[in-house]
Structure 1
Amino acid sequence: MTTETVQRRGKVLWPVAAWFWALQFAVLNPLLAVLLVTLYGATPAEVGWVLGLYNVGGFATSLVIPTLADRARNYLRPLVFCAVGGVALVAVLAVTTSLPVVVLALVILGGPPGVGSTLLFAQLRHEGALPAQVIRTRAIVSFAWVIGPPLATLVTGAAGNPAALALLAGIGLVNVTTVLLLLRRRGTTPADDAAPRPRLLAQLHGWNRWGVVGAFTLLQATNIATVTIATLFVSQDLGAPIVWAGIVLGAAALLEIPALLLIGRLHEQRPVRLLLAGGWACGVAYYGLVALAHEPWQLLALQPLNAWFFATVAGLGLTVFQDVFPSPGLATGLFTNTRRAGAVLAGLLIAVLGASPDPYRAVYVAAGVIVLLVFAGAAAVANRGRAAAR
């Protein structure tokens, strides 16, 4: 097999691997609550507890496994373990009817597969991939999340829960296959990545690094909070049919993909700080204008701003973390957990504003203020750095 053939297959293999790792959870997440109720008889309260434990396990494994991979400087072998865990999880879900057993399976076996995309992005960085390639791969992940939920509901509605489990098993087997193929074609480690890296605690030291983590956690929280209340905002504040919420959210998800691809291209030509500033400015404009909207078509017309803002957070944010933290696994794991931590903050934000006279519109106002504060804080840090360099 020629070198050119190997490289061509590698170019195809990476998108396929990214697609199916993202598709696994894009299918599982919308179905999990339904499966808990219909197959295992969980009550609404039990569903909440189970999902909480499942997410806690995911939070822990998304830090532990990538950190161990950093020590070994090997991200594909742990990825095999994660892929096998995904298949084993579906097997347990298929053969048991006991809710406690399902809970243990979700905590023990459900966490590692959730690290799959994290390890893929870490391996990309480890192999010396340019930020533009990382962002393009992130666009594939977004596309999987556009297709996954409708596919999950279509299969379940047409053929029932067993078909949904079969779909998940098939995706899991594809993940095992792609990881083994990636292991076969694994190249040599770039010289700059073979250099000694700081220890874990040294990488976590410094206000600037924690400032980056805090800033992106807040930005993620604004997106999660506004998406969470979007349906209620459309139906209660705008007085529109609920279908408008689906149209708006679907438009944002679809527009995010070309936004990521364009940002990946611009990354090669423009400074990262300029791209971040433009994305955050779009976020401030979007949240502020939505707070003034009174018709659903106005909300739909603003979705390009929303898509560009979130593409900046999700795409550029990942490359920023990979620049700030030398270890690829730690960088990607921390970035992944800004989404989980942001979800907690989003819930608190919605709860605090729930007592206001216009709670859903207030969430958009608060989101705009948060993005503006992050923008101002980043500008102040940049100015201080330039002043110190003189």
Structure 2
Amino acid sequence: MRRLLVPSAALLWGLQFAFLNPALALLLVALFNATPAEVGWVLAVYNASGFVASLLLPAYADRAKDYLRPMLACGALTLALSALLAASTALPLAVVGLIVLGGPAGVGSSLLFAQLKHSGAGPADVMNTRAIVSFAWVAGPPLATLIMGTLGNRAILLALAGVAILNVATTAAMLKQRRPVDADVQPRHEDPDGGRGFSKAGVAAVVLGFIALQATNSAAVSIMGLFVTQGLGAGIVWAGIALGVSAALEIPALFLIGRLARRFSSRALIASGCVAGIAYYGLMAFVSNPAALIALQVLNAWFFGIVAGVGLTLFQRLIPRPGLASGLYTNTRRLGAIVSGPIIAFGSTTAIGYPGVFAACAALTVLALALIVLSGRKARGIPPTERQAEAVPPAAASS
């Protein structure tokens, strides 16, 4: 039973986001008659709330050295949000609910990964758990659209409430099963990075590098439909197939990356992912048919599997506080989504049109690779003993 709790929690938190986020714009229009402009600013303030909550709530959990009780609160907030959206008919009230309840509720997944790090889980465990979240994203959106199509738009809120109740129950079970970690016993996880330290400038470079990588992924996903219909002259269904294939391939990629993480350093794995990303974006600029588009998703899956899996574990290794590390990594995706706007604007105005977006993404991935791979080489003034101490999970040092 204990072994099923973390995978179950990962699946449920993944489903929560996979149900709500893709359907939120549709719900705003269908339930509250929001205009396109209103949808835009509502999503902006909702994401801003999530950005702030991803910094404040994990910081509180780090100070308390307790990640499960805040997770429990996030599940309760999700339940409250689904009830408010189902009962409300006024857009301003819905917006208040999304800011006050929805933003903090979305931190639950970050707290789950912080709890894994706090309890001494190794990189492979984190990546395997991340693979389950990816599976939820493969199954969640089609299931959400099926529920909305057959039972009506409000039915997805009932499904979201059901997921929230299960999240609360799963987290409560994890609290009940939780056992203190002996401070004298350190988890025995091999560190292929050899305890190499990063300077503060190096950590900042890693953060900037991952914002850039997240931005390329966000830009590529955002313009996929336009690229397929206007660039390739194919049906929009091929865009959905391509994104679905990439998401499905990401799951076995994460499991494989988890095994490789025991043998290869973070920088080596990130380099392999960036090389795959550069090849993917570069070749996408020359794609001329749907078959080639689908075939290239193998490269895309490896690229984003590295960004999602190794990125999270690298942040947890570089930043001593598990909550802050997971929250900051989550926010690189939010910031990357913001940066993707200028990438799309610049790339699409080039002579080659939408393929120019992929060319711009390839160039930005080269820059991100240089930032991340070179960032750890100039760490100074960190004695080997301190570096080893930093590699010890907080649970072993403070529980």
Q: Same fold (TM over 0.5)?
A: yes
Residues 27 and 192 of structure 1, relative CA distance in 2, 3 Å threshold: farther
Partner of 2:321: 327
> 2 CA distance for matches of 1:376 and 1:92?
46
Contact 1:136 1:264 in 2 (8 A): yes
Per the TM alignment, residue 384 of structure 1 is displaced from its structure 2 partner at its CA by 5.0
Work out whether 1:143 is the aligned partner of 2:135.
Answer: yes
TM-score (norm 2): 0.89
> 2 CA distance for matches of 1:252 and 1:375?
21
Per the TM alignment, residue 19 of structure 1 is displaced from its structure 2 partner at its CA by 0.5
- Aligned match of 1:134 in 122, 126, 136? 126
Deviates more, 1:111-120 or 1:287-296: 287-296
Per the TM alignment, residue 187 of structure 1 is displaced from its structure 2 partner at its CA by 1.6
> 1 CA distance for matches of 2:185 and 2:162?
35
Partner of 2:396: none
> 2 CA distance for matches of 1:272 and 1:206?
18
Contact 2:202 2:379 in 1 (8 A): no
Partner of 2:170: 178
> 2 CA distance for matches of 1:193 and 1:375?
36
> 2 CA distance for matches of 1:384 and 1:209?
11
> 1 CA distance for matches of 2:93 and 2:79?
16
Give the aligned residue type for 1:262.
Answer: L
**Percent of pairs with identical residues:** 53
Partner of 2:225: 231
Per the TM alignment, residue 192 of structure 1 is displaced from its structure 2 partner at its CA by 7.4
> 2 CA distance for matches of 1:182 and 1:336?
23
Partner of 1:18: 10
Per the TM alignment, residue 378 of structure 1 is displaced from its structure 2 partner at its CA by 3.5
Give the aligned residue type for 1:302.
Answer: L
Give the aligned residue type for 1:171.
Answer: V
Partner of 1:72: 64
Ranges in structure 1 where 5+ consecutive residues have no aligned partner? 1-8, 195-203
Residues 94 and 329 of structure 1, relative CA distance in 2, 3 Å threshold: same
Partner of 1:125: 117
Per the TM alignment, residue 61 of structure 1 is displaced from its structure 2 partner at its CA by 0.3
> 2 CA distance for matches of 1:257 and 1:238?
28
Partner of 1:159: 151
Partner of 1:375: 369
Residues 111 and 385 of structure 1, relative CA distance in 2, 3 Å threshold: closer
Give the aligned residue type for 1:340.
Answer: R
Secondary structure, counterpart of 1:109 in structure 2: helix
> 2 CA distance for matches of 1:380 and 1:128?
28
Post-superposition Cα deviations, 1:169-215, rounded to whole Å, max 9, x if no partner, equal 10110011011001001121352799xxxxxxxxx982111111100
Work out whether 1:212 is the aligned partner of 2:206.
Answer: yes
Secondary structure, counterpart of 2:154 in structure 1: helix
Ranges in structure 2 where 5+ consecutive residues have no aligned partner? 187-197, 384-399
Tell me the matched-pair count: 372
Partner of 1:32: 24
Work out whether 1:41 is the aligned partner of 2:49.
Answer: no
Residues 87 and 292 of structure 1, relative CA distance in 2, 3 Å threshold: same
Contact 2:54 2:107 in 1 (8 A): yes
Per the TM alignment, residue 354 of structure 1 is displaced from its structure 2 partner at its CA by 3.3
Partner of 1:92: 84
- Aligned match of 1:365 in 342, 356, 359? 359
Give the aligned residue type for 2:280.
Answer: Y
Per the TM alignment, residue 111 of structure 1 is displaced from its structure 2 partner at its CA by 1.1
- Aligned match of 1:282 in 276, 279, 293? 276
Secondary structure, counterpart of 2:288 in structure 1: coil
> 2 CA distance for matches of 1:97 and 1:380?
53
Residues 378 and 213 of structure 1, relative CA distance in 2, 3 Å threshold: closer
Give the aligned residue type for 2:350.
Answer: S
Work out whether 1:343 is the aligned partner of 2:364.
Answer: no
Partner of 1:6: none
